[in-house]
Amino acid sequence: MDEARENACNDMGKMLQFLLPVATQIQQDVIKAYGFSSDGEGVLKFARLIKSYESQDPEIASMSAKLKALFLPPMTLPPHGAGIGGVAAS
């Protein structure tokens, strides 16, 4: 996982190319022990279930956010009120 993250260099496209397949494989191996199928459909069912629990349980929401942070590069938002190219919109 660390090697895949290093290869991605915080680039979203590379994250999808290198990190996501590794993370998906790890997830497939883990979720089958909890009754989910270890294929893409099982991963999607697991993700939907976790998403539904996020609003009900702050601990699940926190763990989900930490897990997502491992797979996605940090996102920076443009300054408030900035238009295209960093020029303030009028």
Ranges of each domain in the chain:
1-71
Q: Scan for tokens 């496209």, then name that residue.
A: 13
pLDDT in tens, 46-83: 989 999 999 999 999 999 888 877 766 666 666 665 55
Q: Which residue has the higher pLDDT, 2 or 32?
A: 32
Q: Identify the CA nearest to 54 among candidates 62, 46, 66.
A: 62
Cβ 15 vs Cβ 71: under 8 Å: yes
pTM, rounded to two decimals: 0.61
Determine the pLDDT at residue 25.
87
Span 5-31, average pLDDT: 78
CB atoms within 10 A of CB 7: 14
